[in-house]
Structures are given as C-alpha cells and as structure tokens.
C-alpha cells in the first residue's frame, strides 16, 4: 500500500504486496494491497471504519442478541463505509483495515480489542455472502468444504436433524438452515469433539452456523499472527520512518473520540450561574458532579480537575465571564481575590481561547477522562474507574440511584465497562433509556436537559 499526498510523489510503507483474494465483497486482508492512498483518506477511511468497530463493541457489551447485532452491523457498515465513488468502496474497506492494523497492533490490549471486533464484523459479513462467495472463502482458508447436494441432504435429513436437536439447535429447515457442508472429519476436530456434527464414512456434515464459526476462527487466528508481525515492523522500522507523516496520525487514531466535540455550546445548553447548583444535581454526570461538589466543599481544585470541570462547563454553555465569576467565587474563599486574579484567571481565559495561542480547547470525552490518572488530592478522572467500590456506591446512592440499578451498575464496573455503567446510571436517574450510550460528559448533560425539558413541557 502506498500513501501519497495529492500531487506528491509517494513512499510505500508496506513491503509485502499482493492482490486481495477471495470475493470482491468480502476481502480476507491476507496481505497489504498494491494501492495508492491519499494522505487525507488514510486518516478518514480509518476513522469511518473505527466508527463501525466501536459501534460493534458497544452493541456487544450491551448484550444485543444476534439478530439485533446483524441489523446493527449492516447499518453501521452502510452508513460509514460508503464512498461517493462506488468503485472505491472495496478499496476503502481494505485500506481502512490495514491502517487500523497499524493503530491497534501496538499493545496486547489494543490487539485483543481489534481482533474481537474485526472477527465479529467478519463473521456477520460472511454470513451475508452468497454460497458461491462462501465456498471461495473457505477454499482460501484451506477448508475443503463441499456443499451437500439436495439429494444427499434429503437422505440424511433425519440424522442431521437429530444432531442439531442433540446440541440444542432447532433445525427449522428454512432455506438457510438446510445448507450443509461436507468436509473430511479431521479438518474440523473442534466439531468432532463433543459430537456436534453428523459423521459418515469419514465426512463430517457441518451446518451453516458451524461453518461460520470455523471460518471466523481461522480468520481470527490469521489476523492475530499478522498483528504480531505488524507490531514488530511498526516498532522496528515504520514508526521511525514515518515519524513526520503517518505516525502522528496512527498514534492519535486509537484514542480518538468520534462524537460531537461540544466546543460550540447549543442554545438550550446555556446555563446561568444562579441555576448551576440545581443543574449540577439534576444533569451533571457523576464525574463532574464530584468535581463540582469538591469545589464547593474545598474551594479549590487542582489543575487537572480545573481543566476537566472547566472545559465541561464551557461545553455546557457557561460563557467566559460567568465562568470567571464562578471560579472566582469559590477560589477567593480559599486563596483570596488577588491570588485568584494573578494565578488562576489567566488559565480560565486561556481555556476559552482568549489568551496565548488562542486555541479553543474542547471538553474532554469519556475516553480521555477514563484514561487519566488522578493522584493524591485529585478529584478528576472517571469515578466508575477511579473510585473504590464503597466510595462509588456511596456516591451513586447520594445521586439517587436505587439498589437494583446499583447492582447492574456495579456489574458493569467490575467488567470495566465504565461508560456503560454511567449510561445505566443515567437511565436509572432519568427513568428513560439512553440507547446511544454515554461517550461524553456533555452528551450526558445535554441528553439529561433535553429529557427534563420535555418532561416539563409535557406537564405544563
């Protein structure tokens, strides 16, 4: 694959080349393709694919059922992976995959996540391929499966049905369920073990859903090996070579937040100072509520806390003057007015882009907050991650989370699904579902305000 700037000479970063194998609609990503990529597309294609993978990740951790997942994957793919030039669609698929390999090869945790999501994606897309295409893919994977002819199927139908019922799959004999593949038994030891297939004269008769599993397993193991190799290449040569071009893009991609950035506050987000305590109780997520309460309590916050809360408040609609007034009110109680003006006001104005290089800083996303590392005396970070269980329970119950919801939330926390925990908290407190899931504190705030406003409107 060669990455070029428009109108500039290209430099290749992948030494292996080779054509994409198998069906045109479902590439197997066996080797990096001979393609030219524009630098802009390098990043944007990857981001689009990342939206798909993150959507899948979200769907899986919310425990969506297989048919719901099917719908979700189809939608995600359609929405994100299209291209105005339809001939470019397959290329976008392939390029985005290989770019994300670079991004996600670098640590064990990243690799694991990427493997799971790409395997799930592959599994769903495979299922939707034509029988022809599926056979081609199986051949690629050295799975010598032969489709069972109708005649043979009829003669074995009863036995096949027995096997299906013996393992708890009800053979509905719909057209898709009636597709069986015949393969030498030694090719599918995982199905022979546990008697999950009918075996006759050395052949195992594999049902469609089992084939999907087999294929997905092979896909996953190939990708796993490839990721290790990619990591090695990255560490030893690519990162160095591309330090001024691709590397910064790659490194930023995996921590990228993909939603709206809340740098431009919406109209209904505007809050006034006199309302702020009330609004904090009703619509702030736990992380911001905690910082807010600590600020009120101690009349001080350390730098990281000020950044996290301050930018949040900006996103919520607090303008720069109100913000200064707010912080001044608290800090002056501790450090005095003069010190506040000298040491803290500048930074607040800086956050609004009124000072220095005048960058308008964007409020932190959940991802960024979760990854932060609060130390002694700090109150920033994500409480679902950074609080001990007891403290978290106490904080949640102060917020008004009932005991049943509490257990669900704690379950998510134990599973390290911090954003889901926050989402469940939102749902419990607002008695309404939050299907999109919480990805940003400001999203929590605006969703909350929207709900409360709607309730108020409907009651008047």
Q: Which residues are annotated as a binding site?
A: 287, 366, 382, 422
Q: How far is the CB of 303 from another protein (least distance, A)?
A: 56
Of the candidate residues 77, 180, 198, 292, the single one contacting another protein (CB under 8 A): 198
**Binding-site member from 67, 108, 186, 267 for another protein (CB under 8 A):** 186
Would you state the structure tokens that stand for residue 299, as one six-digit string?
Answer: 């009349």
Return d(Cα 179, Cα 206) in angstroms, integer: 9
Shortest CB 292 distance to another protein, Å = 55
x/- track of binding to another protein for residues 388-427 (CB under 8 A): ----------------------------------------
User: Phi and psi at residue 200, in whole multiples of 5°?
Assistant: -150, 130
Nearer to another protein, 187 or 408 (CB): 187
Question: Out of 78, 82, 159, 296, which residue is the one contacting another protein (CB under 8 A)?
Answer: 159
Task: Based on the shown chain and the rule CB under 8 A, indicate whether residue 168 belongs to the binding site for another protein.
Answer: yes
**CB closer to another protein out of 67 and 186:** 186
Which two structure tokens, joined as six digits, stand for 364? 């932190």
| Residue 155 is a binding residue for another protein (CB under 8 A) | no
Nearer to another protein by C-beta: 12 or 162? 162
By CB under 8 A, residue 166 contacts another protein: yes
∠417-422-426 over CA atoms, to 5°?
A: 145
Stretch that binds another protein, among 161-169, 175-183, 250-258, 428-436 (CB under 8 A): 161-169
CA distance 96 to 250: 12
Instruction: Please tell me the count of residues contacting another protein according to CB under 8 A.
Output: 21
Q: Which of 16, 149, 162, 255 touches another protein (CB under 8 A)?
A: 162
In the complex, least distance from residue 309 CB atom to another protein, rounded to whole angstroms: 56
Nearest to another protein of 195, 455 (CB atom): 195
Is 142 one of the binding residues for another protein (CB under 8 A)? no
| Residue 185 vs 257, nearer CB to another protein | 185
Using the rule CB under 8 A, give the single segment among 111-119, 156-164, 259-267, 433-441 that binds another protein: 156-164
Among 113, 185, 257, 361, the residue binding another protein under the rule CB under 8 A is 185
Binding residues for [4Fe-4S] cluster: 287, 366, 382, 422
Binding residue for another protein, selected from 107, 200, 255, 359, defined by CB under 8 A? 200
Pick between residue 218 and residue 410 the one whose CB is nearest to another protein.
218
Q: 63, 189, 375, 388: which one contacts another protein (CB under 8 A)?
A: 189
Query: How far is residue 221's CA from residue 219's CA, in Å, rounded to a whole number?
Result: 6
Q: Which is nearer to another protein, 168 or 375 (CB)?
A: 168
Q: Is 163 in the site for another protein (CB under 8 A)?
A: yes
* Interaction residues for another protein, span 31-50 (CB under 8 A): none
**Please, what is the Cα angle at 145 between 141 and 147, to 5 degrees?**
135
Strand pairing class (36-38; 2-4): parallel
Shortest spacing between CB 369 and another protein, in angstroms = 46
CB 319 within 8 A of CB 395: no
Burial 222-257, CB ≥16 within 10 A → b, else e: ebeebbeebbebbeeebbeebeeebbebbeebbebe
We find the least distance from the C-beta atom of residue 435 to another protein, in angstroms, to be 36
Q: How far apart are the first and last CA of the chain?
A: 61
Work out whether 195 is an interface residue with another protein (CB under 8 A): yes
Residue with Cβ nearer another protein (196 or 294): 196
Site of interaction with another protein (CB under 8 A)? 159, 162-163, 165-168, 185-186, 189-190, 192-195, 198-203
């Amino acid at each position: 694959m060669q990455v070029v700037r428009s109108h500039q000479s290209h430099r290749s970063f992948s030494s292996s080349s080779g054509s994409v194998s198998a069906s045109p609609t479902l590439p197997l990503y066996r080797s990096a393709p001979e393609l030219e990529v524009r630098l802009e597309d390098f990043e944007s294609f990857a981001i689009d694919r990342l939206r798909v993978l993150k959507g899948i990740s979200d769907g899986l951790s919310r425990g969506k059922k297989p048919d719901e997942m099917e719908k979700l994957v189809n939608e995600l793919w359609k929405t994100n992976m299209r291209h105005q030039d339809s001939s470019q669609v397959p290329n976008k698929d392939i390029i985005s995959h290989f770019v994300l390999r670079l991004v996600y090869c670098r640590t064990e945790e990243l690799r694991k996540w990427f493997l799971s999501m790409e395997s799930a994606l592959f599994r769903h897309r495979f299922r939707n391929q034509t029988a022809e295409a599926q056979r081609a893919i199986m051949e690629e994977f050295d799975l010598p499966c032969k489709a069972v002819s109708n005649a043979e199927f009829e003669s074995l139908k009863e036995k096949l049905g027995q096997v299906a019922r013996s393992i708890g799959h009800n053979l509905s004999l719909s057209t898709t369920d009636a597709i069986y593949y015949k393969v030498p038994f030694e090719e599918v030891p995982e199905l022979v073990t546990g008697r999950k297939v009918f075996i006759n004269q050395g052949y195992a008769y594999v049902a469609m859903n089992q084939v999907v599993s087999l294929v997905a397993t092979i896909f996953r193991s190939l990708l796993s090996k490839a990721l290790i190799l990619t990591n090695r290449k990255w560490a030893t040569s690519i990162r160095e070579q591309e330090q001024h071009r691709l590397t910064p893009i790659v490194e930023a991609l995996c921590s990228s937040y993909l939603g709206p950035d809340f740098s431009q506050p919406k109209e209904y987000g505007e809050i006034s100072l006199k309302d702020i305590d009330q609004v904090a109780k009703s619509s702030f997520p736990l992380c911001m509520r905690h910082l807010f309460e600590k600020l009120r309590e101690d009349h001080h916050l350390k730098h990281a806390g000020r950044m996290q809360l301050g930018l949040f408040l900006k996103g919520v609609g607090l303008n720069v003057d109100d913000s200064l007034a707010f912080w001044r009110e608290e800090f002056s109680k501790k450090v005095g007015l003069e010190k506040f003006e000298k040491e803290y006001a500048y930074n607040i104005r800086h956050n609004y882009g009124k000072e220095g290089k005048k960058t308008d800083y964007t409020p932190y996303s959940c991802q960024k907050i979760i990854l932060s590392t609060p130390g002694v005396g700090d109150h920033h970070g994500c409480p679902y991650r950074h609080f001990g269980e007891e403290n978290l329970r106490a904080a949640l119950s102060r917020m008004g989370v009932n005991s049943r919801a509490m257990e669900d939330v704690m379950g998510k926390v134990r599973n390290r699904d911090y954003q889901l925990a926050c989402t469940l908290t939102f749902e419990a407190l607002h008695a309404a579902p939050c299907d999109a899931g919480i990805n940003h504190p400001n999203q929590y705030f605006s969703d909350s305000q929207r709900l409360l406003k709607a309730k108020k409107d409907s009651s008047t």
